[in-house]
Amino acid sequence: MTDFHDIVVDDVRPHVRRITLNRPEAMNAYTTRLCEELSRAIDAYLRDDEARALILTGAGRGFCSGGDVSGNSDPVHKALMASQLSHGREMRDGMHKVILALSRCDKPVIAMINGAAVAGGLALALSCDIRIASDKAKLGDTSGRFGLLPDEGGAWLFPRAMGTDRALKMTMLGETYDAPTAQALGLVTEIVPHEQLEVETIALAERIAAGAPLAIRLAKQMMKRGQDMTLEQSLGDAALAVMITNPSSDVREGVKAFFEKRAPKFVGK
């Protein structure tokens, strides 16, 4: 897991993987290369049955500050961006690909928000299942300050997290919020002291990774799909899912462990 330049991938505990955006000098602003590497790392996590929980975080003082607006002197990049149409292509092949990869991932993903998560960085965090934030974190949408749009998925993600009126206010005014305000608005799941962020997030990931992989993956799928279903459709989805989980060895192990008064050892079968 060393074939990367702008991210770092490591297994911090058995079954727990971590992806760290590694451009601390730019507050982990994303580039085309970072997005390509991140997409590959997410796909590798999805395909590795030994990895049961993923932590996504940033190096240094920030989680992700959105797209890199500092400019790119690479002549090849400049040539590719010579037309208006090329900007749309860059988004589709870049951060859009990452957001879709996270949305399609049926395994647990935790955002460990160690600092600023703004604009596309906030969209990235909201694409994760759970968001654990440092008490020093800042979250919001600063895209409008540059005349830009919430184009990395924010136009879809922000209203679903905080309501359309609050999302519009945040974007129109370029607002950022401290961690408690972000939690009250629905952008953050839990806040922990900055010094305890890594320990607490890894402990949460370990607890999730110790769960029954089949049940966790199917529960995530059911909840995600259920947002666009009627109750009747969701119940039908559940009836199909139990045909997979109920006969599994994990269920037999869970019941056996309960009566033996011990922790179950799930294997995902």
- Residue 269, pLDDT score: 84
- Whether 33 and 70 have beta carbons less than 8 Å apart is answered as no
DSSP letter for 174, please: T
- Whether residue 1 is contained in a domain is answered as no
- Residue 68, pLDDT score: 85
- CATH of residue 111's domain is 3.90.226.10
**Is the full-model pTM beyond 0.85?**
yes
Residue at which a domain ends, from 189, 209, 229:
209
| Count of domains forming the chain | 2
3-state SS class at 71? coil
**Whether residue 226 sits in one domain with residue 161:** no
Q: Which amino acid is at 143?
A: S
- Whether 62 and 23 have beta carbons less than 8 Å apart is answered as no
- Whether residue 78 is contained in a domain is answered as yes
**Whether residue 129 sits in one domain with residue 44:** yes
Angle at 122 between CA 205 and CA 110, to 5 degrees: 5
Q: What residues form DSSP beta bridges with 16?
A: 13, 53
Q: For residue 85, what pLDDT band results from cuts at 50, 70 and 90?
A: low
- CATH of residue 252's domain is 1.10.12
CA separation (Å) from 91 to 97, 99, 174? Answer: 8, 11, 21
Structural domain span for residue 142: 7-209
53 class by beta-carbon count within 10 Å (0-12 exposed, 13-18 middle, 19+ buried): buried
- Residue 76, pLDDT score: 44
**Whether residue 96 sits in one domain with residue 115:** yes
- For 124-179, the pLDDT digits (tens) are 999 999 999 999 999 999 999 988 889 899 999 999 999 999 999 999 999 999 99
**Whether residue 144 sits in one domain with residue 249:** no
**Whether residue 219 sits in one domain with residue 198:** no
3-state SS class at 82? coil
